[in-house]
Amino acid sequence: VDTVKLAVIPGDGIGPEVVTEALKALTAATEGAEVVFEQTAFSLGAARYLETGDVLTDDDLESIKGHDAILLGAVGGVPGDPRLAGANIERGLLLRLRFELDHYVNLRPSVLYPGVASPLAAPGDVDFVVVREGTEGPYVGNGGAIRVGTPAEVANEVSVNTAYGVERVVRYAFAAASARPRKKLTLVHKTNVLVFAGSLWKRTVDAVAAEFPEVAVDYLHVDAATIFLVTDPARFDVIVTDNLFGDILTDLAGAISGGIGLAASGNINPDGRFPSMFEPVHGSAPDIAGKGIADPTAAILSVALLLDHLGRADAARRVQRAVVADIADRGTARRTTSEVGDAIAARISALD
């Protein structure tokens, strides 16, 4: 029997609510399998900060590094809470984990499952994945401001793109495209304006394309990509893009394929040097926290991505099949978070 050391970061707001249900799915999917998930819970997030003043200590980070994978709910307090003004939980915790654990692939699949309502009149067969770069771009904190609060204020936030960083994520995206039936890759950038970074991304894609002759390559400016995500999302297979474009496009992708309650993601370190981290795309949803009505499906689908990453494809498919079956039967009945979690876990257990 293999042991997988799983770090669990429930976080804030609906984070703990959806993680509870995700863990039910994990248990059901691995019951009887030759694997045991040994879980360590980490109390991190806005609540922990308000209690202790810590966002992520070096000890926390070292301890998390000693795990095989991470499951995260959501972190972040109520936007505008004055007690959080001195801390930036998103940067200090979520982004620090992505950077320190070298999660250079932020994998965000978008599938419109049968029975799910899309706000689009004619979405077509939506099944694509965004490979969002996770460790560079404008997210790195390469910036600063001077003369703050004066009419002469200057604020810079510089996007960092390295040949090393771009090439490794592009290579991952080509391999992902090559493994999918349609074998299509779309680079999304803004090469007409962001000429230095755009040129690096474009040349890198052209160079790596030579190694993947079976993959059809396409390019779209990010503004045009938002048009096609709404008018013809079925045209996409694999999208590769930078950290900020990928953030924005994946909220749109979530919205067209059933909403934020269904959008799962993986922050992957493909080299396996550090644990990868799986989380719903949504945040802590302070507006519905504590009410027991959050949709845990995104967190449960994140468990499927986690199992796939750990080489447990059978268990991953069981989670996915149970979710797809639950979604198909959902209708308009209102269920609580735990009712959805229990129903999906029961379906997993009932699969052969």
Is 247 labelled a binding residue?
Answer: yes
Q: Does 102 bind Mn ion (CB under 5 A)?
A: no
Annotated binding-site residue? 331: no
Chain centre distance of CA 270? 15
In this structure, the strands spanning 154-157 and 143-146 are antiparallel
Decide: helix, strand or coil at residue 139: helix
Using the minimum distance from each CB to ligand IPM, give the nearer residue, 4 or 19. 19
Site membership for ligand NAD, residue 255 (CB under 6 A): no
Among 60, 295, 308, 326, binds ligand NAD (CB under 6 A): 295
Choice between 14 and 126, CB closer to ligand NAD = 14
**Whole-number Å distance between alpha carbons of 135 and 96:** 10
Per-residue x/- track, 258-297, ligand IPM (CB under 6 A): -----------------------x----------------
Q: CB of 91: closest distance to ligand IPM in angstroms? A: 7
What residues numbered 11-40 form the site for ligand IPM, per CB under 6 A? Answer: none
What's the number of CA atoms in the CB half-sphere (13 Å) around residue 223? 5
Minimal distance, residue 90 CB to ligand NAD, in Å: 5
Please tell me what DSSP assigns to residue 17.
H
Q: Which amino acid is at 301?
A: L
Between CA 302 and CA 296 the distance in angstroms is 10
Give me the residue label for tokens 């950038």: 189
Stretch near ligand IPM under the rule CB under 6 A, chosen from 89-97, 297-305, 308-316, 321-329: 89-97
247 binds Mn ion (CB under 5 A): yes
From 52-60, 69-77, 152-160, 342-350, give the range in contact with ligand NAD by CB under 6 A: 69-77
**Binds ligand IPM by CB under 6 A, chosen from 247, 295, 308, 326:** 247
- Residue written as tokens 């468990």? 303
248 forms part of the interface with ligand NAD (CB under 6 A): no
Q: Which among Mn ion, ligand NAD, ligand IPM, none contacts residue 95 (Cβ within 5 to 8 A by kind)? A: ligand IPM
Give the one residue of 33, 39, 88, 90 binding ligand IPM; rule: CB under 6 A. Answer: 90
DSSP conformation letters of 97-138: HHHHTT--EEEEEEE--TTPPPSSS---S-EEEEEEE-S-BG
Alpha-carbon span 109 to 118, nearest angstrom: 16
Is 290 annotated among the ligand-binding residues?
yes
Judged by CB under 6 A, does residue 299 bind ligand IPM? no
Element housing 279 (H / E): strand 276-280
305 contacts ligand NAD (rule: CB under 6 A): no
Q: Return the sign of the alpha-carbon dihedral for residues 214, 215, 216, 219.
A: negative
HSE, CB side, 13 Å, CA atoms: give it for residue 179: 7
Contact set for ligand NAD, span 77-136 (CB under 6 A) = 77, 79, 90, 94
292 is in an annotated binding site: yes
Assigned token pair, 264: 């799962």
> Using CB distances below 5 to 8 A depending on partner kind, what does residue 246 bind out of Mn ion, ligand IPM, ligand NAD, none?
none
For ligand IPM, the closer CB: 19 or 322: 19
Q: Which residue numbers are catalytic?
A: 139, 190, 223, 247, 251
Q: In the beta sheet, which residues pair with residue 276?
A: 69
Residues 184-203 that bind ligand NAD (CB under 6 A): none
CA distances (Å), origin 198, targets 139, 187, 223:
17, 10, 14
The residues pairing with 187 across neighbouring beta strands, listed in sequence order, are 219, 240
Radius of gyration in angstroms for the set of CA atoms belonging to the chain, rounded to a whole number: 20
Q: How far apart are CA 109 and CA 305, in angstroms?
A: 10
Known binding residues for Mg(2+) are 223, 247, 251
Catalog residues that contact ligand IPM under the rule CB under 6 A.
90, 94-95, 247, 281
Catalog residues that contact ligand NAD under the rule CB under 6 A.
14, 18, 74-77, 79, 90, 94, 260-261, 279, 282-288, 294-295, 298
